[in-house]
Amino acid sequence: MGKLHSHLIAAFVWGFFFTVCNYFLLLMSVFFFRKKMKIFSESHKTVFVVDHCPYMAESCRQHVEFDMLVKNRTQGIIPLAPISKSLWTCSVESSMEYCRIMYDIFPFKKLVNFIVSDSGAHVLNSWTQEDQNLQELMAALAAVGPPNPRADPECCSILHGLVAAVEALCKITEYQHEARTTLMENAERVGNRGRIICITNAKSDSHVRMLEDCVQETIHEHNKLAANSDHLMQIQKCELVLIHTYPVGEDSLVSDRPKKELSPVLTSEVHSVRAGRHLATKLNLLVQQHFDLASTTITNIPMKEEQHANTSANYDVELLHHKEAHVDFLKSGDNHTGGNSREGTFKETVTLKWCTPRTNSVELHYCTGAYRISPVDVNSRPSSCLTNFLLNGRSVLLEQPRKSGSKVISHMLSSHGGEIFLHVLSSSRSILEDPPSISEGCGGRVTDYRITDFGEFMRENRLTPFLEPRYKIDGSLEIPLERAKDQLEKHTRYWPMIISQTTIFNMQAVVPLASVIVKEAMTDEDVLNCQKTIYNLVDMERKNDPLPISTVGTRGKGPKRDEQYRIMWNELETLVRAHINNSDKHQRVLECLMACRSKPPEEEERKKRGRKREDKEDKSEKLGKDYESDKPWQESERLKGLLDREKEELAEAEVIKDSPDSPEPPNKKPLITMDEMPTVEKAKGPMSLLSLWSNRINTANSRKHQEFIGRLNSVNNKAELYQHLKEENGMETTENGKAGRQ
């Protein structure tokens, strides 16, 4: 590699010599102006016009050794004579390299139209996005083949290509079309600018002038045509880049000329470049100028040696990307470019140091920009090692080399779906430092959020791409994101935020119902499961199973068992009612619920408690949605209650955990006070005649005698004996509640 470098140094020195001053000025002027975005700038459309006339078949007179001798096989063999590329080959491969870099960094909205010119113009592709890739262009170029040195030079000209280029610039691209259609009456805002890069072998400065005049005239004519057409657009601005290329060792007949305005529409610049790698270097510089690119050299990349697998040496890899990735260096003037003379040139590159990644830890970095990259030397071993490493899913942090002081990580390389991006990480002081912790703000002192349940909710509401268009029943296009919003709406119709606000979500037994009732449509099986769940709850009630209702905060033992069930049934009803309009099947679940839940005791309860309670119930129904109260005295009373509870809890638990940051405390007893229950008493749904009748009979019978406890608690008329033993052994809490939750 060292040997190669010395070759390259020579090449680069000369290649840069002519252009370096221009390049420097350009870089300086971009230091302080963050360009505002414009989709349809000159770089939206680039037309390549490459000369295919007989003289382009001439050799560039720069030899390539292709028959490199391998050790141990050299005896007696004379290596094959070196070969050289033609002017055509040099032009084509340099322009392909230009396109490669451009497509890597701007896969969309930056388009190339490739035209080859000899006795006529051959347009190799169109502006459509499908035509924008190297494979298409390479195949088209292969079909054209090298120029025929025996063709008649008189009938060949670059002018055909230039005329075709102007024509192409008038053609509308799909992006312009889309923008014009969406803007409607403001369609004139859509710009039509473009750039023509013409690689030819000119005869003299006056020949160059003639080419420029021709382009100008053609633009003038075509703009007239375009003015009367719906499919064509007038060219507002055209940048003509004429590259005169000639064999190494010859004198150039054409002089360089910086960009000059020929007319308000046309600017032109002339570059006189020797063929071979000089031409490639020139186009590499041009692609950087045209697309506002900058270069970053990743240094200190450890790489296994090919020969000695257990040793590794450090390599450098140069990448190109949009210059915004250097915005911090450019603006602060703190760039690390000055001293970099690895290649003995003034090449502007920012050096960043590789930081070997520790683990594959998933972190969310504060990233202010991400820009696609393209390696300068795509096929070199260091480049492909780096890109393969990244494509395999690893990310690499990059550090600013500093002589002293702390380490500053300023960038990160990372691939996303086979594309590598240079991420700009914020390394300056944060304006958000030392913010108040969330636990200090509203809701920060509440300790029993349903963190785990909401985590489960989030996982169920994750997103996935739907690339195929889907249609609603009415034939209109369905927007997946709107479906996602709908689902969130359904899933949150009844969603208590804290454990002490809910009973049913603390019961494993309710899960089968709760998980399907939120669905838009239920299957028959779902309905069956819901019914089973309800029957199961009825069983539990009959058995007098305890419910995970907290007794904390209530004086004495807390609500009686039947009161607990009343609360549970009310809550379940609230949940199911929130969804009855989804479908008939949802309605069926409610019917089942209404039929099964026991009512009579509750009815009596109601009478006993009177009206005041109802007020409170109505209010607590609002809980979770709305804290504003039109009855301030009630509000403050409620808050006082909350505070009291909190105090008691404090006494019990000694410490209040910083709720949002810590997972909810294990085996935490749900907090509940009766009045806080979001019980909802709306009009009851229909009841079957049978259940009405049997309820009546049962009530009537029950008045006549006291029911056996065994029968009351029996399942299928079988009563379990010695239940109290079980309770004493502490089975109580684990039976039906989610005792194992964490």
Partner 1 sequence: MPTVVVMDVSLSMTRPVSVEGSEEYQRKHLAAHGLTMLFEHMATNYKLEFTALVVFSSLWELMVPFTRDYNTLQEALSNMDDYDKTCLESALLGVCNIVQQEWGAAIPCQVVLVTDGCLGIGRGSLRHSLATHSQRSESNRFPLPFPFPSKLYVMCMANLEELQSTDSLDCLERLIDLNNGEGQIFTIDGPLCLKNVQSMFGKLIDLAYTPFHAVLKCGHLTSDVQVFPRPEPFIIDEEIDPIPKAINTDLEIVGFVDIADISSPPVLSRHLVLPIALNREGDEVGPGITDDTEDENSANQIAGKIPNFCVLLHGSLKVEGMVALVQLGPEWYGMLYSQADSKKKSNLMMSLFEPGPEPLPWLGKMAQLGPISDAKENPYGEDDNKSPFPLQPKNKRSYAQNVTVWIKPSGLQTDVQKILRNARKLPEKTQTFYKELNRLRKAALAFGFLELLKGVADMLERECTLLPDTAHPDAAFQLTHAAQQLKVASTGASEYAAYDHNIAPLQTDFSSSGTERM
Residues 639-698 that bind partner 1 (CB under 8 A): 639, 642-643, 646, 658-661, 663
In angstroms, rounded to a whole number, what is the distance separating the alpha carbons of residues 80 and 696? 109
Give the nearer residue to partner 1 in terms of CB position, either 29 or 310: 29
Q: Which of 371, 175, 368, 345 is nearest to 291 (CA)?
A: 371
* Structure tokens, 186: 């403001």
- Least CB distance from residue 85 to partner 1, whole Å? 6
**Window 344 to 363, contacts with partner 1 (CB under 8 A):** 362-363
- Least CB distance from residue 192 to partner 1, whole Å? 12
In angstroms, rounded to a whole number, what is the distance separating the alpha carbons of residues 437 and 250? 73
In angstroms, rounded to a whole number, what is the distance separating the alpha carbons of residues 243 and 196? 10
Give the nearer residue to partner 1 in terms of CB position, either 430 or 716: 430
- Least CB distance from residue 427 to partner 1, whole Å? 7
Task: Name the phi and psi angles at 438, rounded to 5.
Answer: -60, -25
- DSSP SS3 for 107: coil
Strand 193-200 versus strand 45-51 pairing type: parallel
In angstroms, rounded to a whole number, what is the distance separating the alpha carbons of residues 530 and 511? 9
Going by C-beta distance under 8 Å and a sequence separation of 6 or more, which residues neighbour residue 571? 502, 503, 504, 677, 678, 679
Regarding 49 and contact with partner 1 (CB under 8 A), the answer is no
In the chain, the amino acid numbered 5 is H
Task: Name the phi and psi angles at 541, rounded to 5.
Answer: -65, -40
In angstroms, rounded to a whole number, what is the distance separating the alpha carbons of residues 421 and 419? 7
Of the listed pieces 163-171, 214-222, 636-644, 722-730, which binds partner 1 according to CB under 8 A?
Answer: 636-644
- Least CB distance from residue 570 to partner 1, whole Å? 19
**Window 142 to 181, contacts with partner 1 (CB under 8 A):** 142-147, 179
* Structure tokens, 32: 């302080």
Place of tokens 């969310």: 364
Regarding 328 and contact with partner 1 (CB under 8 A), the answer is yes
Sole binder of partner 1 in the list 15, 44, 45, 104 (CB under 8 A)? 104
**Window 369 to 428, contacts with partner 1 (CB under 8 A):** 369-370, 372, 374-375, 377-380, 383-384, 387, 391, 395, 412, 414, 416-420, 423-424, 426-428
CA pseudo-torsion sign 172, 176, 178, 183: negative
Give the nearer residue to partner 1 in terms of CB position, either 143 or 721: 143
**Window 8 to 47, contacts with partner 1 (CB under 8 A):** 8, 28, 31-34, 36-40
Give the nearer residue to partner 1 in terms of CB position, either 89 or 300: 89
* Structure tokens, 694: 């049997």
Q: Give 642-690 as a 3 state SS string.
A: HHHHHHHHHHHHCCCCCCCCCCCCCCCCCCCCHHHCCCCCCCCCCCCHH
Burial of 675 (0-12, 13-18, 19+ CB in 10 A): middle
Of the listed pieces 240-248, 339-347, 454-462, 679-687, which binds partner 1 according to CB under 8 A?
Answer: 454-462
**Window 244 to 303, contacts with partner 1 (CB under 8 A):** 277, 280
Of the listed pieces 295-303, 455-463, 610-618, 721-729, which binds partner 1 according to CB under 8 A?
Answer: 455-463
Sole binder of partner 1 in the list 19, 43, 46, 94 (CB under 8 A)? 94
Regarding 107 and contact with partner 1 (CB under 8 A), the answer is yes
Sole binder of partner 1 in the list 86, 503, 533, 736 (CB under 8 A)? 86
Give the nearer residue to partner 1 in terms of CB position, either 627 or 708: 627
Q: Which of 351, 344, 345, 291 is nearest to 322 (CA)?
A: 291
Sole binder of partner 1 in the list 177, 342, 493, 543 (CB under 8 A)? 493
Give the nearer residue to partner 1 in terms of CB position, either 107 or 120: 107
Regarding 431 and contact with partner 1 (CB under 8 A), the answer is yes
Regarding 633 and contact with partner 1 (CB under 8 A), the answer is no
Sole binder of partner 1 in the list 265, 484, 595, 739 (CB under 8 A)? 484
